[in-house]
């Protein structure tokens, strides 16, 4: 399994000198396993991943959306492989919002917000709205199975947390989720003994004090899950747009003090568990 980070920022893209090292693109992570290309979220990082995939045509990709807030879907209209006939894109997601995943993705491309409608894209696309606890099983093309499990996180309008397992390796993608007084038993359960936990570490514990109920968390709370679930590597993700490179590095340093195998996600980071 090979995990590549294409966008690690939360809420809104943050280009600029102070964020160049960590990167300013929003949520997008690529997981390659066997011949499978799994994509977690379609934030602006998806555009760059699309450029890379153009060299591997015909592309078959499985995009799992945690939810449909802007910072998780905004790269999709710029995902070049979706424009090319012969490619196949499977899209998974949806949640408690009023529309299906397909309707939401269609909505962001509606006239006059975007010149090309979803239905005009050349690739073959399938849409699948997920249910809590659902397991998606995919053939890796090399004689093994990959599974994607789901559970709900805690976020306005809902969010899916995903766990991917392949040949004894696993990664949990838990972005845009807020902690409460008790460590979330669902997140501990789905993270159990995973190799990598990618977790919403948008705020420092100090910043969080003024952001209660905004649907985001801290490295301090994520580490509690990592410990309880015996996770091997903890990855701070979905950095706040107001955080400079130095501030993200400081979060990482503080996280390492309480959980040694901590790492702040940055654009271009590759993890091979």
* Binding footprint of Zn ion on the chain (CB under 5 A): 10, 69, 71, 176
Residue closer to Zn ion (CB basis): 81 or 158:
158
**Three-state SS across 90-119?**
EEEECCCCCCCHHHHHHHHCCCCCCCCCHH
9 or 166: whose CB is closer to Zn ion? 9
Nearest distance from residue 97's CB to Zn ion, in Å? 11
Cα dist from 229 to 175, 190, 192, 211, 247, whole Å: 17, 8, 4, 26, 27
Q: Are 225 and 187 in contact (CB under 8 A)?
A: yes
138's tokens: 């995919």
Position of minimal CB gap to Zn ion: 69
Return d(Cα 133, Cα 265) in angstroms, integer: 27
- The CB-of-12 to Zn ion minimum distance in angstroms stands at 9
Q: Give the 3-state secondary structure percentages of the chain, helix then strand then coil, rounded to 5.
A: 25, 30, 45
Question: How far is CA 38 from its chain centroid?
Answer: 11
Structure tokens at 73: 């879907």
> Shortest Cβ distance from residue 238 to Zn ion (Å)?
6
With vertex at residue 175, the alpha carbon angle to CA 270 and CA 9, rounded to the nearest 5 degrees, is: 65
Q: Which is nearer to Zn ion, 175 or 255 (CB)?
A: 175
Shortest Cβ 72–Zn ion spacing (Å): 6
Q: Identify which of residues 10 and 23 has a Cβ nearer to Zn ion in the complex.
A: 10
* 30 or 165: CB nearest Zn ion: 30
Rounded to a whole number of angstroms, the minimum distance from the CB of residue 213 to Zn ion is 13
């Amino acid at each position: 399994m090979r995990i590549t980070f294409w966008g690690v920022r939360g809420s809104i893209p943050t280009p600029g000198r102070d964020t160049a090292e960590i990167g300013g693109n929003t949520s997008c992570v690529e997981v390659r396993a066997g011949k499978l290309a799994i994509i977690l979220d379609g934030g602006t990082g998806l555009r760059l991943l699309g450029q890379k995939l153009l060299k591997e045509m015909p592309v078959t990709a499985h995009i799992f959306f945690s939810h449909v807030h802007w910072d998780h879907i905004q790269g999709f209209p710029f995902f070049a492989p979706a424009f090319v006939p012969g490619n196949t894109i499977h899209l998974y997601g949806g949640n408690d919002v009023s529309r299906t995943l397909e309707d939401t993705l269609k909505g962001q491309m509606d006239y006059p917000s975007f010149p090309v409608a979803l239905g005009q894209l050349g690739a073959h696309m399938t849409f699948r709205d997920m249910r809590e606890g659902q397991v998606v099983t995919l053939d890796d093309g090399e004689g093994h199975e990959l599974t994607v499990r789901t559970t709900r996180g805690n976020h306005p309008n809902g969010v899916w947390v995903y766990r991917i397992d392949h040949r004894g390796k696993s990664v949990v993608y838990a972005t845009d989720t807020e902690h409460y007084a008790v460590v979330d038993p669902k997140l501990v359960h789905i993270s159990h003994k995973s190799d990598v936990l990618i977790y919403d570490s948008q705020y420092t514990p100090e910043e969080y004090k003024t952001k209660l109920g905004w649907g985001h968390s801290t490295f301090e709370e994520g580490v509690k899950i990592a410990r309880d679930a015996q996770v091997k590597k903890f990855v701070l993700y979905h950095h706040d747009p107001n955080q400079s490179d130095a501030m993200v590095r400081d979060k990482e340093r503080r996280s390492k003090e309480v959980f040694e195998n901590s790492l702040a996600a940055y654009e271009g980071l590759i993890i091979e568990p």
